[in-house]
Structure 1
Amino acid sequence: MSKGKDKNNQDYSAGNITVLEGLEAVRKRPAMYIGDIGVKGFHHMVWEVVDNSIDEAMAGYCTTIKVEINEDNSVTVTDDGRGIPVDMHEKEGKSALEVVMTVLHAGGKFDKDTYKVSGGLHGVGISVVNALSTELKATVYSRDGKIYEQEYSIGIPKGPVKPVGETDITGTKIQFKPDASIFLLNEFKYDTIATRLRELAFLNAGVRIELVDHREKGDDGEDKQEVFLSEGGLLEFVEYLDAGREKLIPNPIYMEGEKNGVPVQVGLNYNTSYTENVVSYVNNINTIEGGTHVSGFRRALTRTLKAYADKSGILDKQKIEVAGDDFREGLTAIISVKVAEPQFEGQTKTKLGNSDVMGAVETCVSETLQNYLEENPREAKMIVQKVILAAQARHAARKAREMVQRKNVMSGSGLPGKLADCSEKDPAISELYLVEGDSAGGSAKQGRNRKYQAILPLKGKILNVEKAQIHKIYDNEEIKNILTALGVSFGTEDDEKALNIAKLRYHKIVIMTDADIDGSHIRTLILTLFFRYMRELIERGYVYIAQPPLYLIKKGKNERYCFTENDRVKVVQELAPEGKEDSLHIQRYKGLGEMNPEQLWTTTMDPETRNMKQVSVESAAEADHLFSMLMGDEVPPRRDFIEKNAKYAKIDI
């Protein structure tokens, strides 16, 4: 921590802490408060604590935040903000610190005069973290020059708030250890935390965020650590997301303004890809379903670009009508707004509903973009020419789609010939396995449960959609088979790329590939297709990755399947405790086809024994960055990624 601006003259005290309700239900129904008790909920504990520090940064009183993952898998978050108030809370008759830590929805963010906006807009308060932790220690470096501490166990104070020393700095330090009896895991993922902290650094320019992992040593022998600090904010964020793409215009466009009391920031750039990537935030929280701020941005972009194109006469010779989504092909944009009282709707409560925000974003973007186009005619012309190419491709895609639909009608059921369908017609209990190769497909067809499991063998590698226009998708036989088998379609009058899942035939779509390099590549190609064109299926939790075993280890009649390298080591130690591995028969499965139907069913397809991974998107921005970097045209970022992660790679020989 460090000395910051003078915080002593700020009226942030016990009187600013508002109490809404108690903690009774948190431990009984934790998923109601943190989403789930799996990976997301476990890491949400960190986000709740970090959000409080970010609130201080947004209010202008914090410049440095440090997050430490400790050896015992506890987490420490330290900031140099004003420090949580420790004086007596008039209504509760106890220290304000104890109120904040033990009463649900008690905090300064519910007092408009303390925090105009709050990063924890879905937040339920640090008290929930306290209730779900076996141990929590709060340390406050107070503005009165003293250090105060209070310790808790499952939300209950072990003693009163007490002074433990003197200080000439201010800030708050929270150390907590999640309750292992509540959560399904007890180990924090470094990459998950790093991704969120990197995102927060981009969204809060100038705030230094440090991450230290005391569980792992770096190449220099020191604890693994990273520092996230962005002076350029959203401009740097756009550059980061577009690192794997070829730029269309040399520099990102930045827009900033405040309309109707709503601060708006937008960073955007155009690239030569064929997909749109708009990532939106409200008070630092990713609104994955968009909302009024995204609608305002799209309206402004379309109207302003079309007006410029009409005025310049570039569209006069075009016989094809230009639509709204043509203006967004090859666009990467980040929209960040701050809203005092956000209202949410949508399936996951991450769709902004405030109507006044639409107008604020639309006005800000229209004014700034219009000035940019007038001042940069060369770049403006390149963008409009890209729009024309997108319109031509969209019309080609419509013809290709209509051709596919006509063929389906003429061929009766329209289902692919290779599809071995299930007899069940209820999508909720039907499963589709996308299987690499005819050999494995044959084994899967024989081993499956025909009632609810369908098999679609895939021949070779499907098209890399990251580098292809949408009409090329309809020309690719394997992708056509996937789309037809699923029962999904693309295109509405307003959006040619819109996904229609009304006739989706399966609610479990399982990608099943070999456990070698080619299998990994095929799996990534399929995931790219789903992420770019059928993301809703991922967001609804319908997409899975099968986990076939890597090894079969035999000793006499004792057979054990191993799904990871660690499993293999443990089983070898168990079956050959004296180190005599030559007494074991160890078979390494490189392909699904090496297993007979019964083995494939038992290890990979039987709901009672299989181990599938559900695909989810923790961060849409980070996922976009990875897909564009791994599957895009630019080689240097991919080479850097491979070199950085080479030590985690497994080479098949």
Structure 2
Amino acid sequence: MPKEEYGAKDLAVLEGLDAVRKRPGMYIGTTDSQGLMHCLWEIIDNSVDEALAGFCNDIVVTLHTDGSVEVADNGRGIPVDKEPKTGLSGVEVVLTKLHAGAKFGNSSYNAVGGLHGVGSSVVNALSSRLDVEVDRDGKTHHMTFHQGHPGVYTDADPANPSPDSPFKRTRKNRPTELEIIGKVSPKTTGTRIRYWYDPEIFNKTAEFSYEQLIDRVRQTSFLVPGLKITIIDENVPETAATDTVEATDDTTVEPAQDQAPALDVSSSDAELFDDSAESQSDDAESPAEEDFSLTAGDQVVDGAFGEQPAHPRVVEFLHTGGVKDFVDFLSKGEPISDIWRIQGEGTYKEETQAVGEGGELHAQEIERTCGVDIALRWVNGYDTTIMSFVNIVETPGGGTHVDGFMNAITKQIRKAVEDNARKLKVNMKDSAMKVERDDIQAGLVAVVTARVAEPQFQGQTKDVLGTAQVKPIVTRLTDKQFGEMITGSKRGYKEQSGRVLEKIVGEMHARIQSRKAKEVTRRKNALESASMPAKLSDCQPGNDDVAELFIVEGDSALGTAKAARNAGFQALLPIRGKILNVQKASITQMLSNKECAAIIQVVGAGSGQSFDIEQSRYHKIIMMTDADVDGAHIRILLLTLFYRYMRPLIEHGYVYAAVPPLHRIALTGSHKGEYIYTYSDDELAGKLADLDKKHIGYNDDIQRYKGLGEMDADQLADTTMDPRTRMLRRIRMEDAAQASEIFSLLMGDDVPPRKQFIVDNADDFDRSKIDT
């Protein structure tokens, strides 16, 4: 077989934007929905760069019904004069030449998001059609492109342009003149770009995400104070609600939506959970699960722009407080500190390639300025929210600016803990007593921004900042300013810094305790059982996959429960009355509380950020309390503990509430010795009426259970503990942010909002779900 010939004729040379269409992933990451959104970010970022340079304060993003997107700004407008080297207009250079634009110079832009000079041209290459209009010099200039190539479309209806209209491409090497289509005021400037993404490039499943667009625009409005950004969705009829909202330093922009109750503890079709249902046929009439959703509410869902979404037609964003407003927006839960601000700038020298007069590149050392703006606060809880940006580009992977920030606050917090070791009860001689970064980040909400000319990103998608010189600048500024805050030497920070340090040290103790707990085997033999709380009546080992923990209210109920339980897989842990409200307490106070510490120890999976659901000793945690107001209060206190420090138990459906009966009806006559249990006054009345109708006799002296201790073992087993006959309510959490708001509302320190919530919702809930 002859060898295949391989020569220069086999080499392919892709010119201009053909390389982009051949390998789009190199420029936008993917060709799915994320790549589609990345194209939109590139166009929006170019307009925002004009705002960062001080020439633009109004951007409008329009989602047209034909699937196209238009971005308009009142910036300076793309240059329309001829570029000397190519002889093409500035518009054509920007939209057809890779690595071309003013951002390669040193004067037009000092801090930009669109960096590599490929954004607009890449979007043009990946669009089936792109139209651009530029207002400059008292005229409106117009130009069109098809898959990156300039030319002229002949639209049947100029008011409704289409990528399917006939297109005549400009011949190669012949400049395309800008068409002047109107006049404007000499002071009017701006750029409007409308494009239709190319279905030949993007996947069939690719679609725009309205929710992502809103989130990105919202965060941009925080990062560029004073910039108004408007989203217009023409897919929503004009008769629909228009939401024009504005935010100042003290308010936050949010699209208006009809809010459903955040705490959903009842449902018209919800039933109780019967363990035996799984072993019965689908046709059997047996109770099913009733979800106590900690949150519920209608939310805006992602969808293609061609669909009719459930949101306002117009939404505007305008913030003036910068990153401080951003942190306030991101904060969920009770704040432990006010919002702290770190600001400043520094300079560094960098060697870069400069463009000479003849177009040649040469090395040049220039001095750069790096601006730093950081806002942070701590809130109750252990979730971490750190968002970082370079100019207006989010860097989800962090980078040198985040490294500098975290290094500095870690250093200063460790020093502050050491200086206050006695007050914080930290034994500095114990090598294990060292604050780690995870302890610091628990409950931390921070926005870290850096303004840098020509930043170095790792890849075109700009996920991570790589400019090494930024790190020492951020470290120095944070070290000095945060150091004054955390030590309390800055006026007004002493009390706040004390609370922050107490929380961080509490997280450290929780982490250490969790590590020690993991070193102990999950199941203890008789010799080791003393390490568990003495009041725990544990189940037999070997049934880990079905093991249940009943948290029982009171010693009287415990005695009955011991006789009613199946010791093979059911464990009992009594609590004395109402446990600590951890929503109002610090983590140190929580760990010092015997009841809370015992529950965490018995569950065996740790607490806070170190909680490991795989280490849980039980697959069902069942709150078994009396059917009265005090019992309901104990349940919500337990749920607050689970939510704040063992949240995965709720997320994985491990937490249940037992449903003990309220009444027992003793039948007479031929049914003597039989009993009927009811769970509400309404059910009792209905059941009695049904017995009367069927002429079945019953004892008029109906027993009303005031507590679990009033039942004998057989009754408690049949109604509340035996998986074959009992009923349970499973606790679920659908939305962490809304759940946090509900716990803050119901269990926090702020009384007036809680009172108002009760007043507003008193007539709306299902009273049959309330134990009476």
Counterparts in 2 of 1:84 and 1:331: CA distance versus 1, 3 Å: same
Counterparts in 2 of 1:54 and 1:27: CA distance versus 1, 3 Å: same
DSSP-derived class of the 2:66 partner: coil
DSSP-derived class of the 1:177 partner: strand
Equivalent position to 2:221, from 178, 196, 201:
201
Counterparts in 2 of 1:28 and 1:256: CA distance versus 1, 3 Å: same
State how many pairs are aligned: 437
Counterparts in 2 of 1:312 and 1:473: CA distance versus 1, 3 Å: closer
* Percent sequence identity over aligned pairs: 35
CA distance in 1, matches of 2:89, 2:442: 55
Contact preservation (8 Å) 2:78, 2:134: yes
CA distance in 1, matches of 2:228, 2:649: 34
Equivalent position to 1:145, from 138, 143, 163:
138
Write the letter of the residue equivalent to 1:200: T
Equivalent position to 1:247, from 319, 335, 353:
335
Contact preservation (8 Å) 1:77, 1:174: yes
Equivalent position to 1:113, from 107, 114, 120:
107
Contact preservation (8 Å) 1:117, 1:340: yes
The alpha carbon displacement at 1:102 in A equals 1.0
Write the letter of the residue equivalent to 2:466: G
Contact preservation (8 Å) 2:517, 2:604: no
Paired residue for 1:389? 506
CA deviations over 1:340-394 (Å, ceiling 9, x no partner):
2333449986232322211111111122223333112111111111122111111
Q: Spell out the pairing of 1:3-18 with structure 2 (5 A cutoff).
A: none
Paired residue for 1:342? 455
Paired residue for 2:43? 49
Equivalent position to 1:305, from 409, 413, 417:
413
Contact preservation (8 Å) 1:213, 1:224: yes
DSSP-derived class of the 1:88 partner: coil
- Select between 471-480 and 171-180 the one with higher mean Cα deviation: 471-480
TM-score (norm 2): 0.51
CA distance in 2, matches of 1:90, 1:349: 31
Counterparts in 2 of 1:281 and 1:89: CA distance versus 1, 3 Å: same
CA deviations over 1:538-584 (Å, ceiling 9, x no partner):
xxxxxxxxxxxxxxxxxxxxxxxxxxxxxxxxxxxxxxxxxxxxxxx
The alpha carbon displacement at 1:476 in A equals 5.2
Equivalent position to 1:170, from 189, 213, 221:
189
Q: Spell out the pairing of 1:189-228 with structure 2 (5 A cutoff).
A: 189-217=209-237, 220-222=240-242, 224-228=313-317
CA distance in 2, matches of 1:155, 1:347: 19
Contact preservation (8 Å) 1:121, 1:283: no
Write the letter of the residue equivalent to 1:172: T
The alpha carbon displacement at 1:397 in A equals 1.6
Paired residue for 2:516? 399
Contact preservation (8 Å) 1:416, 1:484: no
Write the letter of the residue equivalent to 2:200: S
Contact preservation (8 Å) 2:613, 2:648: no
CA distance in 1, matches of 2:384, 2:481: 21
Larger relative helix fraction: 1
CA deviations over 1:267-308 (Å, ceiling 9, x no partner):
101111123322111222222222221111112112223334
1:280 aligns with 2:388: yes
1:318 aligns with 2:405: no
CA deviations over 1:499-531 (Å, ceiling 9, x no partner):
xxxxxxxxxxxxxxxxxxxxxx9xxx779979x
- Select between 285-294 and 149-158 the one with higher mean Cα deviation: 285-294
Aligned residues: CA RMSD = 3.9
Contact preservation (8 Å) 1:264, 1:338: yes
Paired residue for 1:629? 738
Where do 5+ consecutive residues of structure 2 fail to align?
Answer: 1-14, 153-175, 243-311, 348-368, 529-541, 547-581, 592-596, 617-642, 653-733, 747-752, 761-772
CA distance in 2, matches of 1:270, 1:366: 18
Paired residue for 2:199? 180
CA distance in 2, matches of 1:312, 1:293: 29
Q: Spell out the pairing of 1:505-516 with structure 2 (5 A cutoff).
A: none
Contact preservation (8 Å) 2:379, 2:444: yes
Equivalent position to 1:259, from 312, 321, 346:
346
Equivalent position to 1:353, from 453, 466, 473:
466
Counterparts in 2 of 1:303 and 1:85: CA distance versus 1, 3 Å: same
Equivalent position to 1:125, from 101, 119, 143:
119
- Select between 194-203 and 151-160 the one with higher mean Cα deviation: 151-160
Counterparts in 2 of 1:107 and 1:529: CA distance versus 1, 3 Å: farther
Counterparts in 2 of 1:391 and 1:298: CA distance versus 1, 3 Å: same
Contact preservation (8 Å) 1:178, 1:186: no
Contact preservation (8 Å) 1:55, 1:118: yes
1:231 aligns with 2:304: no
Paired residue for 2:59? 65
CA distance in 2, matches of 1:26, 1:348: 15
CA distance in 1, matches of 2:508, 2:463: 31
TM-score (norm 1): 0.60
Q: Spell out the pairing of 1:207-606 with structure 2 (5 A cutoff).
A: 207-217=227-237, 220-222=240-242, 224-242=313-331, 244-249=332-337, 251-260=338-347, 261-311=369-419, 315=423, 317-319=425-427, 321-325=433-437, 326-345=439-458, 350-372=463-485, 373-374=488-489, 375=491, 376-403=493-520, 483=614
CA distance in 2, matches of 1:347, 1:70: 28
